[in-house]
Amino acid sequence: MAEDSKPRVRVPRSATAGEAFEIKTLISHKMESGQRKDSDGNTIPRSIINHFSCDFNGENVIQVILQGAISTNPYFQFEAVIQESGTFTFTWNDDNGSVYTDSKDITVG
Amino acid sequence: MNKMTLSAAIVATAALFTGAANAQVDLDAVLSIDGTTMITRAPAPDFLDIDEVISGWVYRATETQALQMDDFENPGMIFVDVAVDDWNTVEGTEGKSCASCHVGGPEEFAGLRAVLPRWNEAEGKMFTMEDYINYSRVNYMGAEPLPLAKPRMDAMVALISLQSRGMPMNVAIDGPVADIWAQGEELYYTRVGQLDMACANCHEANFGNMIRADRLSQGQSNGFPVYRLKNAKLNSIQARFKGCMKNIRAEPYAVGSEEFRALELYVASRGNGLSVEGPSVRN
C-alpha cells in the first residue's frame, strides 16, 4: 500500500497576519511497525513514514520524527502564524525512500 | 481514545482534550456533513415490527460521530482518493479504465448505492455493487475481477457509494428478488452458532442496549462501506456479516455466497428510508 500513499492537507485559503490558524494533514500509510510476524512466523520488516515536515516560503514550521508505534494513516494537526502570503509545503519521508509532498497557497488579507 | 487522537498527541495539540464527552452517546445528535443533513431516523418499512429505523451513527460516541461529520477527518475518504486513481487506471486487454466508458466520472452513479442490491434483468441475477464493478471489469475492460472484501474493491465501492450520499435507501423487495429477499429474512431470524443467536436477537430485540462496553445498533447497512477504528480500514457489508457470525461462534458463510447476498438485500431493505452514508465511520 505504500505506493498508494495519498497525502491530504487542509489549510485555510486566507489568514490574518499574526493570527494563529489551524492546519490539518493526513496521509494514508499502513505504518508497519516491524514488531509483527506473518503467518509463517517471520518478522514483517518495518515500513513507516519516518519524518514529516511543513515549511512556509522556505522557512520550517514544524518537523516530526515518527516512530514504530504510531498508528496507520498518521494525522497531524497544528497551528501556524504567518505575516505574508505564500505557500506551505508538506513533506513526508517513507522508510522505502519515497517522498510524498503536497503544497497549499495562502493569502494574507 | 481513538487512533487519530493518539497521533495528534505527538504534536501536542489541544485536540487531545477537546473530547470532554468521552464515550458519551447523544441519541438526539443530528448528522450533517458539509451542510447536508442526513436522515438518521426514519419510519420503519411496513414489514418490520419496530417503529423506527435508526442509523448506526446515532449510537456511536460523540468523537466517533464527529469524525464522520467532516470529510477531512473521515479516514474513509482516504480510500475514496485511492479509488479515484484506480478509476483512471487503464487495465486489461481492452486498454480501458473506468473513466474510458463512464465519461461523466463517478458522479454518473448518483443514486445507484441507494437501490442496490437489485435485479439485473439482462443477466437474470441479483447484482450488488461489487457485481457491477466486476462485470464491467471483465466484460468491458478485459481485466481480472477484483477480489471481494479486499481494499481495492472496498475503496471503489466507497467512491461510488459517496455519489449517493444523503439519498434515502430505497431497495426493491418484490418482483424477481422476492425469493432472495425471503431467504434473507429467514437467515436474519434463524439462530445459529454456539451462542445460538440470530441477527434479530441483537439488532432487533436489543438495539440501544449495551453489549459489553459497546452499544448495539440496528445493524443497518446504509453506512457501508464503513471505516472502522478497530481495524483502520474500510469494511464491506458482507465482511461485517462474517465478523458478526464469528462473534456468535458460528461458521460464517463465504463472502459472495448466496446466503450473504440474500442477507445483504434483506438488511438493506430494513434500512429503507435512511440516508446513504458511505463511507461512514464506526468503532
Q: What is the complex's ipTM, to 2 decimals?
A: 0.70
Confidence band of B27 (pLDDT split at 50, 70, 90): confident
Closest-CA residue of B relative to A29 is B78
Q: How confident is the model at residue B12 (pLDDT cuts 50, 70, 90)?
A: very low
Identify the CA nearest to A52 among candidates A70, A61, A65, A69: A65
Model pLDDT for residues B179-236, shown as the tens digit of each residue: 999 999 999 999 999 999 999 999 999 999 998 888 999 999 999 999 999 988 899 9
Do residues B269 and B142 both lie within one domain? no
C-alpha to C-alpha distance for B96 and B92, rounded to whole angstroms: 7
**Mean pLDDT estimate for chain B:** 88
In a domain, B16, yes or no: no
Q: Which of B78, B80, B159 has the highest number of chain A CBs within 10 A, making it the mutation to test binding with A?
A: B78
What whole-number distance in Å separates Cα of residue B242 and Cα of residue B60? 21
Does the residue B246 lie in any domain?
A: yes
- Residue B55 domain-assigned (yes or no): yes
> Looking at the structure, do residues B82 and B53 belong to the same domain, yes or no?
no
Q: Measured between CB atoms, which of B8, B78, B151 is closest to A73?
A: B78
Shared domain for B150 and B263, answered yes or no, is no
pLDDT at B159 over 60: yes
Looking at CATH, the fold of the domain delimited by A2-104 is given as Immunoglobulin-like (2.60.40)
Which one of B138, B162, B186 terminates a domain?
B162
Q: How confident is the model at residue A7 (pLDDT cuts 50, 70, 90)?
A: confident
Mean pLDDT of A11-17: 90
Q: Which residues of B touch A100 (CB under 8 A)?
A: none
In a domain, B199, yes or no: yes
Question: Do B205 and B178 share a structural domain?
Answer: yes
Q: Write down the pLDDT at residue B73.
A: 87
Which of B145, B162, B179 terminates a domain? The answer is B162
pLDDT beyond 80 at A3: no
Contacting B with CB below 8 Å, chain A residues are 1, 4, 6, 8, 10, 24, 26, 28, 62, 64, 66, 70-79
Nearest residue in A to B78, CA atom = A28
Strand order in the sheet with B233-235: B233-235, B226-228, B280-282
Which CATH number fits the domain that encloses residue B265?
1.10.760.10
Total structural domains within chain B: 2
Please check whether residues B48 and B156 belong to one and the same domain.
no
Residues in chain A: 109
- The verdict on B178 and B244 lying in the same domain is yes
Could you tell me if B123 and B193 lie in one domain? no
CA angle B6, B10, B12 (to 5 degrees): 100
The per-residue pLDDT for B129 is 95
- What would the mean pLDDT of A9-29 be, rounded to a whole number? 90
Domain identity same for B189 and B272:
yes
Question: Cα separations (Å) of B249 from B117, B195, B210, B258?
Answer: 27, 6, 19, 20
The domain of B206 spans 22-73+168-282
Number of C-beta neighbours around residue B24 at 10 A: 10
Q: Is B14 a domain residue?
A: no
Inter-chain contact A77–B15, Cβ cutoff 8 Å? Answer: yes
pLDDT at position B10 over 50 = no
B44-80 pLDDT tens trace: 999 999 999 999 999 998 989 988 998 888 889 988 9
pLDDT level of residue B16 (50, 70, 90 thresholds): very low
Q: Could A72 and B79 be called an inter-chain contact, meaning their C-beta atoms sit closer than 8 Å?
A: no
Q: What is the arithmetic mean of pLDDT over A59-80?
A: 91
Q: pLDDT-based confidence at A4, cuts 50/70/90?
A: low
Would you call A76 and B6 a contact, using CB atoms and an 8 Å cutoff?
no
**B151 neighbourhood in chain A, CB within 8 Å:** 1
Domain boundary among B116, B132, B162: B162
B61: in domain: yes
The pLDDT score that the predictor gives to residue B114 is: 94
Render pLDDT for B88-132 as a digit per residue (tens, 0 to 9): 999 989 999 999 999 999 999 999 999 999 999 999 999 999 999
Cβ distance B85 to A66 less than 8 Å, yes or no, reads no
Domain boundaries of chain A, sorted by first residue: 2-104
What contacts A57, CB < 8 A, 6 or more positions away?
A: A84, A86, A87
